[in-house]
Chain A
């Protein structure tokens, strides 16, 4: 069935695109003495004298060749293999959108939940306004602004990394407003919280700025430990509640272990560090987490293990990020970077000598930074709105009332009963979004100079390159169809009430 759909739409697209393009256009106004030969060559190479509906079958033959091990998407107009070009582009596209999509989902759902719980609060209005505002911004505009301030401005700032007073106060006021509105409460409480958040931020920023921290960022063992403890508290609070002392102690012991292992682990972080080691270390932390969870309690071990594992993974994540941050200074000092570490275009600095894991990792992370922010900002709104709406809907269901009536804590009601059910309708959107975004980040890729599927697509249309266009189309449409299939299956798996067949 999927096959028939792809067949039909590829036929349609092929012919539409063939109708809409004129590969000879440039040559018609060329004053090159060899123009006649050039036109002959182009007609010959692109088989322009074969009508498009028939030419389609030539293309199809190459695709169907895949069944006998002779898959062939043809050549681009510059005689590259289309399959190769796409092979290069797909990982880049995935890298570009994966982080942003996950970030948008996590942030969007979090904010969606908070706004649903505080419906019609100032925070709700502010977030609604912000998410709609972000949603309404054309991405190339966002890109221009982000580059101007987060990249160029920040790099300029790094030359003398001392925050000016207006900036320091402005950022602190922002932090104060943000935290006080998130935490909410009565008017006097809000003022108090604003005061605390404002002064804490001002103090921290002042110290960071005075110590030139921004030019040589690092966390250090103590901060890593403190953050890990914070993570332990928050995760435990959200999953089983702080009143469950056994799990809390389990999480805290994971943090302590992380602190103890901080220095030994640094020995592994050499230049030759590899992704394989990284995954190994993640696996090891997972193991630590599982063990700690298992032994911390006998009641509801599953939840305990989930909690401690998450704490362990996050703790290791913090240690890893700390190491990356400490690469920042030497990275900035390389010839290739020349003290301007935040880039605006491309996916890697081609001048950077390969061989240093931390340099290359930081380099790709920094190149991902702006596009990720831009994509997240843009797609964040949808998730906020849908998760807010969905949760509001669920919160009004009878089973929530029942759960409350049973005397379950608010945390349990929201995290276990409401939240999970509210996520179900989101699966459809997430699946479709992801597929769409792989083929559809055309403008994002263009403005950030990434050569992924979107760029290929744009090049194919602009350069009237039918084979390339069809190749990109073939991949993206297959993905789209697959994503919808997965969404369907997920949907019925998550919601047992749903039956798709009769």
Chain B
């Protein structure tokens, strides 16, 4: 059903493609392509905004909740400040409602403003904005840690075992099998039990150590297939070392799959942490994460929805951004991927060739 292209159009496309990439290094080409991916760019900006907002609001911290080195954030409340329950803005029978008012005065007559607790208060009167910010900070940390450990281990192990095959492959794949058989929940439970309040960093590291298996199998599959391709033979005949073949020839071809998988892994990491929290094995008090907040307040869904929606909204926003960035990266890295040629481009190219 794809459009049938006429010969001149194809020639025009090629010309545009060539013109686009003339005189640029591979990295520059990738970067340019990425910049042009609108959804990915919006997501990069969105994610950067979320990260900066969250981290500056809550302040940076290292270590567990009570023994942490912290830098102050701009939000006045911390998650250990307990205030009285306020019934400001509340319907009958509720307390701790959000005071955030985004409707300007000419609509509801009260004017815009943050109020004292823009996101409301939790059950014991802590500022929910502070909790959500801290939670997002922790969740992003977990996501990054799991993502990077998982991506690194998965790619390296998958690449080595797919490229070298034989006994190396056998050993590494058995290692992978071994890890696959260990349920993440048990790891979560054990960590939750033994090192539960050493903070999210350790939780992330441990989960990361068990999260790379899917990726490594995928990468291995790609390598098994790519290493038989003509361009690899060509490189080998030309005398390229194994390292060069792996990193310069095969990896760029596999990078699309890797990136899709890593982004799924990262957004999966947030959900994994949410799931662990739901079952009581994730981040535990006094630390909070988006997952622990959303699972703690899942019953609030119909009565105090703000306790549920804010962390839920952030989880979805972060996961969406990550996935779109991955999508953009995948397209940018794909060496055969062509840019979508618009009519305007064709006209421009046509004009350019006529001018020339």
Contacts and interface: CB of A to CB of B under 8 A. Distances in A.
Contacts of B320: 129, 132-133, 136
Contacts of A469: 186
A309 interface: no
A425 B174 contact: no
B225 A495 contact: yes
Contacts, number: 175
A125 B337 contact: no
A9 interface: yes
B337 A428 contact: no
Interface residues of B, number: 67
Interface string A1-24: 110111011001100110111000
B166 A502 contact: yes
Interface string B174-188: 101110111101110
Interface in B193-225: 193-194, 214, 217-218, 221-222, 224-225
Interface stretch (A196-204, A335-343, A356-364, A477-485): A477-485
Interface in A424-467: 425, 428-429, 432, 439-440, 442-443, 457-458, 461-462
B33 to A, nearest CB: 12
Given A138-B271, A141-B294, A443-B275, A425 B218 contact: yes
B174 A5 contact: yes
B214 A502 contact: no
Interface residues of A, number: 69
B169 interface: yes
A473 interface: yes
Contact of A125 (B39, B174, B294, B318): B39
A425 B337 contact: no
Nearest to B187: A16
A13 B186 contact: yes
A123 interface: no
Interface in B303-350: 312, 315-316, 318-320, 323-324, 327, 330, 334, 336-338, 340
B238 interface: no
B295 interface: yes
Interface in A400-436: 410, 425, 428-429, 432
A385 B224 CA distance: 21
Contacts of B102: none
Nearest to A8: B178
A484 B67 CA distance: 43
B1 A117 contact: yes
A500 B163 CA distance: 10
A104 to B, nearest CB: 14
A30 interface: no
B228 A497 contact: yes
A498 B226 CA distance: 9
A457 B183 contact: yes
5 contacts: A141-B298, A396-B336, A473-B181, A477-B183, A499-B165
